[in-house]
Amino acid sequence: MSSVNRFDVITIFPDYLAPLSLSLIGKAQASGLISIGIHDLRDQTTDVHGSVDDTPYGGGAGMVMSPEPWGKAIDQVAELAPGEIHELIVLTPAGEKFTQELAQELTNSKHLIFACGRYEGIDVRVSDFYSKAKNFKVREVSIGDYVLGGGEVATLVIMEAIIRLIPGVIGNPASLDEESHTLTSESGVLVEYPNYTKPKEWRGLNVPDILLSGNHGEIAKWRLEQAQIRTKNRPS
């Protein structure tokens, strides 16, 4: 099955997404495996100030992002993947929790659009409108229970988790295969075993003898035990 190959991000802070040109994701773009567009929401504004927010109906603190610039921006980026189903990811602290399982699921969408709000978030009619629009799927997603200033950092997290799952992005697919054994939705999470490299002794601390033994069966057994101990002792 073919994987996701186009990502578009809409934000009032395009520079926040600059790290997408680096490392693994930068190489995936350079090799043509994926395309990423970063779009400035303010390009869709009509007034001299480039206003994207307004006071909340019903009162309350802070400002809410107006629906019209979002509608224009989303319609425009949808045209960049004609004929595809567009999956709109709206970042919000109230969203579904992002997990490895969701990362895996999102690799099956050909076109992902990330809506990065600021202020108190985006007028909910944007989600509602595209949920009903044909050719769109919409998900409201959160990366965890802490409060960020906007959706940009969450988008970086989610895109990195998805892109490294795309076939050909990671040089050594054996490491992905190993992850799928330790990170499964059914059996829960088994945290990784401890890693060591040279030198054999560092500041009085030694590498466990078993790892120097060359006995691959015993090493696998020891690593599994260590992973189980760490899983049990990990603070929630």
215, two tokens: 């006995």
Query: Which residues are CB-neighbours of 23 under 8 A, at least 6 positions away?
Result: none
Nearer to ligand JEE, 119 or 129 (CB): 119
Binding site for ligand JEE (CB under 6 A): 91-93, 117-121, 141-144, 146-151, 154
Shortest separation between residue 63's beta carbon and ligand JEE, angstroms: 10
140, two tokens: 């409201």
Shortest separation between residue 115's beta carbon and ligand JEE, angstroms: 9
Shortest separation between residue 143's beta carbon and ligand JEE, angstroms: 4
Residues facing residue 39 across a β-bridge: 10
Residues facing residue 8 across a β-bridge: 37, 113
Shortest separation between residue 154's beta carbon and ligand JEE, angstroms: 3
29, two tokens: 């773009």
* DSSP state letter for 4: P
Q: What is the DSSP pairing of strand 205-206 with strand 201-202?
A: antiparallel
Nearer to ligand JEE, 53 or 193 (CB): 53
Nearer to ligand JEE, 131 or 182 (CB): 131
* DSSP state letter for 64: E
Nearer to ligand JEE, 101 or 218 (CB): 101
Nearer to ligand JEE, 9 or 193 (CB): 9
Shortest separation between residue 144's beta carbon and ligand JEE, angstroms: 5
**Distances 74 to 131, 177, 203 between C-alpha atoms, Å:** 13, 35, 55
Shortest separation between residue 86's beta carbon and ligand JEE, angstroms: 19
Nearer to ligand JEE, 157 or 183 (CB): 157
Pseudo-torsion of CA 45, 118, 166, 107, nearest 10°? -90
Report d(CA 141, CA 106) in Å as an integer: 12
41, two tokens: 């929401």
Nearer to ligand JEE, 53 or 165 (CB): 53
Phi first, then psi: what are they for 64, rounded to 5°?
A: -120, 145
Residues facing residue 27 across a β-bridge: none
Report d(CA 106, CA 157) in Å as an integer: 13
Shortest separation between residue 41's beta carbon and ligand JEE, angstroms: 12
